[in-house]
Structure 1
Amino acid sequence: MMVRPLIATAMLLLAVVAPAPPAIAAYETDAPVDFALPVLGGGEAALSDYRGKWVVVNYWATWCAPCRKEIPELSELHIEREDITVLGLAFEDTGISAFETFLAEFDVSYPILLVDVYAPPEPFGAPKVLPTTIVLNPEGLSVKAFLGPVTRQAIEDFIDGGAVGP
């Protein structure tokens, strides 16, 4: 039967012409992290704009149930702690209107940055899981990553526990 050779040929062809997935990078760094991304609603934000504060970078997507669950606590954290800034990194290949419709259901208090899923920002690259939350210290070093759902309490425990570096 000729079906198997055809399937094998088709799979080989797909492997050759399919684009490579984005690189997955390590999260903790020895040097300050900086990249700039467009902000939903206009403008651009760079991580270096927030030096002197703790920065909580949260990769999320509209289809991700745990991401949805985190939004209220991350919004409270962003509002109630002057020493912490939360940035939501929308990691999804969809249009602006889809994000706006989704966010109309949620009271998000922090900036939403738009990530090109085919060229995610370095040094983080594509997240290993969604949600992924990365904590940068006031000097801009990435010092902690939470893979999967995280609570406000876990972030505050880490920051208030005297975390200063990797």
Structure 2
Amino acid sequence: MKYPRLSLAAASLIVVLGAGACSRQTPTGATADAPEQATQAPVPAPPTEAKVGDAMTLSVPTLDGKTFDLAAQRGHWVVVNMWATWCGPCIEEMPELSALDAMNEDVKVIGLDMEDIARADLDAFLEKHPVVYPIAAMDPMRPPAGFGSVQFLPKTWLIDPNGKLARVFAGPVHANMLREEIDKSAKADAVPKA
């Protein structure tokens, strides 16, 4: 896949804008000893992302009118996949995730569409790219608790049968990769602890 090149000016602008967005800047005329009066609403802290071993929660309405509740999936491995219709690698992994869900009774997959898109457009996309697992349309600015901010897609969380985070995958995944991770984790859990 080829990606367009950025001009030096565009790349510099991205760096400058990105640097400003990441740090709190002191307003003109304010000093560290004399902070400026607060005239703007405080910027909310970015959502926190769970760590491996943390208990996860997720309860979201799905496009089929049901609710996907992680607590109801105990006893199953759960794959939570964040994606968007404009993301090429996301689209490429959808058949893999669908096959994983369809061919493994111990695995449940849910897709979280992380974009601002009209419902009709999302439905049309899913008609062209059908999957067997449920999809939930999410506000990219408000990801579910514990799933962190949306900085890149796709991103996939593997949650164990007890509801704890087993692994996070940044970038595309495939069915064999997830199945191997599940089998490896299940073997590790089966080894008696001394």
How many residues are treated as equivalent by the alignment?
153
- Structure 2 counterpart of 1:88: 111
Higher RCO, 1 or 2 (CA under 8 Å, sep at least 6)?
1
Whether contact under 8 Å (1:37, 1:45) holds in the other structure is: yes
Residue 161 of structure 1 aligns to a residue in which SS?
A: helix
| 2:170 is equivalent to residue 152 of structure 1 | no
Instruction: Provide, for residues 23-74 of structure 1, a one-character-per-residue CA deviation record: whole Å limited to 9, x for no partner.
Output: 2533434442112111012122111121110000000000000000001010
- Structure 2 counterpart of 1:40: 63
Whether contact under 8 Å (2:141, 2:150) holds in the other structure is: no
CA distance in 1, matches of 2:45, 2:119: 21
* Equivalent position to 2:137, from 109, 114, 135: 114
Whether contact under 8 Å (2:52, 2:167) holds in the other structure is: no
With normalisation by structure 1, the TM-score equals 0.81
Matched residue type, 2:159: L
Residue 86 of structure 1 aligns to a residue in which SS?
A: strand
CA distance in 1, matches of 2:123, 2:152: 23
Pair 1:17–1:109, CA change in 2 (3 A): farther
CA distance in 2, matches of 1:162, 1:98: 38
- Structure 2 counterpart of 1:9: none
Whether contact under 8 Å (1:22, 1:126) holds in the other structure is: no
With normalisation by structure 2, the TM-score equals 0.70
CA distance in 2, matches of 1:19, 1:101: 39
Q: Greater CA deviation, 58-67 or 150-159? A: 150-159
Matched residue type, 1:54: W
- Structure 1 counterpart of 2:86: 63
- Structure 2 counterpart of 1:77: 100
Instruction: Work out the percentage of aligned pairs sharing the same amino acid.
Output: 38
Pair 1:26–1:162, CA change in 2 (3 A): same
**Higher gyration radius (CA):** 2
Structure 2 residues without counterparts, runs of 5 or longer: 1-24, 26-38, 190-194
Whether contact under 8 Å (2:47, 2:145) holds in the other structure is: no
CA distance in 2, matches of 1:148, 1:27: 17
Structure 1 residues without counterparts, runs of 5 or longer: 1-11
| 2:191 is equivalent to residue 161 of structure 1 | no
Pair 1:155–1:43, CA change in 2 (3 A): same
